[in-house]
Structure 1
């Protein structure tokens, strides 16, 4: 019998949640996703040292000021890493806009267009990249504009139905609803409760989003993310895509058993509701303590790792 990983690939597109080239080569995912935390980890591993040295030399020749040079090197690095990843996967790579821009539509648009321009300069077509944005109201509105410019987006840090619905209504290509981080919150809030994978609140959240999108014929791709265990992944077999860490990919690859489709299309509905307004979106977020806390925590975490990455790059540039 084939491994759990090989069986899972019959029901869902498997995406590697890593910037580690060895893991991508081993598990042969369709796509790969990155974020500042994964980029920082990959840089710290040393596998990109020669690439960073080359990019640093090219940026130093531009005569930019300190902050501008760091920003330019960071952009060139994440795009160059994206190129290396694309050489190992047949599909797409997600490249993230700085988390610090999550509440600024114009700045998010400027950064997204800059990243796309760097990819195009490297002769990477738009249909092989996804621009990744946090699913704040501003991030969703930036995605609406980018999608109209034929720049497809991955909306991340999704913790509740309101975020997912607003993304679909904005025409986002793909969303990444988180599973494990929702479980983390509930475990802290209810330490006495034991959740089986199929009953976990994060698993239930992704299922409800998937069924709603399919029932109303939203084309937005649902990609479950942030898994804590194999049980969560198998409970979402049949979801459009699943982005999985190397550790869990390895566990799936080394395990036998039977994988069944757990998600199926929901009966169609005749009409879609009116799109959420900004006020409605913000109220629904305000009413959901878990989503509000985890979204803010996720943005802070990504920004912290982005700052650490920029400190490493500043040292490479000789900037104190």
Structure 2
């Protein structure tokens, strides 16, 4: 049995792509998208007509509504291939605007429901800012489930758990990137691999804390740089993986041991912590990696959102 099949017996495998034509070969349960993935997809010949057709069908609407219809159109195609859920992202430029995030999330769900898709099959992706987490808290109470993304710190994870969020996406690879760049010539790849990888350690800490305290929020490791990071998180609730790394796992036949164990985590003695807004902002401020990567992630997604806007209006 290859490692992708073994992983599926331990963890829910999610495809991290806007390329729905590629999904079937990996048979993931869920799929996630983001502005960068959608932008990449619509620039290819396979998907350009989808953008063109959607824009043509909705001329006269406000630009932001056309964008949401493009995102939902991709989501609808993905849901024809995966049996589970698709994650669709609210514009990253709204990451500090709770009211606008709520409005866009409700509209996206409305578009899916108008197309006959139950809200149970959609996760609204929102950046893990304080405003984003509080918007998601309200959405969850309405039965609109959320995927809190751009999550780099323990305080973000704790706040999401306290808010009753459905799912979080800690970014393994981007954490790894920061520590590797920060260490410079002193970085030892061998010493920082597997369970010692800083991104892996962050997800393991969150996973163990959630399981020990009975927090129902799902943990989905994201943003992987190599298969070693994935192998070191086997047993996590979900892992969202790019097609390239899914393909690599399919070619590996070695045994894949369980790395994260929910039952074992319940036996740990981890103190319960809580963050109000002031404590959250201070804790995030004290974590240079998380502060920098959150800001950078929002900027990068905002750039790609603006590029998608330009493709629509041009």
Confirm or deny a common fold (TM above 0.5). Answer: yes
Runs of 4+ in 1 over 2 A off after TM superposition: 48-54, 267-275
The whole-number CA distance in structure 2 between the counterparts of 1:124 and 1:46 is 27
Q: Which runs of 5+ in 2 are unaligned?
A: none
- Contact kept in structure 2, 1:93 and 1:130, CA below 8 Å: yes
Shift of 1:206: 0.3
Aligned to 2:211: 214
Q: Deviations over 1:203-262 (max 9, x none)?
A: 001001000000000000000001000000000000000000011001001121110110
The whole-number CA distance in structure 2 between the counterparts of 1:215 and 1:249 is 30
The whole-number CA distance in structure 2 between the counterparts of 1:270 and 1:162 is 18
Select which of 76, 99, 111 maps to 1:106: 99
Residue 95 (1) aligns with residue 77 (2): no
The whole-number CA distance in structure 1 between the counterparts of 2:136 and 2:155 is 16
Residue 45 (1) aligns with residue 44 (2): yes
Aligned to 2:225: 228
Select which of 169, 172, 177 maps to 1:176: 169
Q: Which runs of 5+ in 1 are unaligned?
A: 316-320
- Contact kept in structure 2, 1:31 and 1:92, CA below 8 Å: yes
Q: Deviations over 1:65-91 (max 9, x none)?
A: xxx2x2222111100110000000000
The whole-number CA distance in structure 2 between the counterparts of 1:300 and 1:49 is 25
Residue 247 (1) aligns with residue 244 (2): yes
Residue 193 (1) aligns with residue 187 (2): yes
TM-score, structure 2 as length reference: 0.95
The whole-number CA distance in structure 1 between the counterparts of 2:269 and 2:201 is 24
Shift of 1:55: 1.6
The whole-number CA distance in structure 2 between the counterparts of 1:279 and 1:309 is 35
Find the residue that maps to 1:223 and give its secondary structure. strand
Find the residue that maps to 2:308 and give its secondary structure. helix
- Contact kept in structure 2, 1:216 and 1:270, CA below 8 Å: no
Shift of 1:283: 0.4
- Contact kept in structure 2, 1:210 and 1:222, CA below 8 Å: yes
Find the residue that maps to 1:210 and give its secondary structure. helix
Find the residue that maps to 2:113 and give its secondary structure. helix
Find the residue that maps to 2:15 and give its secondary structure. strand
Find the residue that maps to 2:9 and give its secondary structure. coil
The whole-number CA distance in structure 2 between the counterparts of 1:102 and 1:303 is 10
The whole-number CA distance in structure 2 between the counterparts of 1:50 and 1:279 is 47
Q: Which of 251-260 and 140-149 deviates more?
A: 251-260
Aligned to 2:199: 202
Shift of 1:22: 2.6
- Contact kept in structure 1, 2:209 and 2:270, CA below 8 Å: no
TM-score, structure 1 as length reference: 0.94
Find the residue that maps to 1:9 and give its secondary structure. helix
Q: Deviations over 1:112-140 (max 9, x none)?
A: 00100111110110000000000000000
Q: Deviations over 1:38-97 (max 9, x none)?
A: 01011111222332232222212xx34xxx2x2222111100110000000000000000
- Contact kept in structure 2, 1:132 and 1:155, CA below 8 Å: yes
Shift of 1:272: 7.8
Cα 1:300–1:271 change in 2 (3 A) is closer
Find the residue that maps to 1:242 and give its secondary structure. strand
Shift of 1:141: 0.2
Count of residue pairs the alignment pairs up: 308
Cα 1:112–1:237 change in 2 (3 A) is same
Find the residue that maps to 2:266 and give its secondary structure. coil
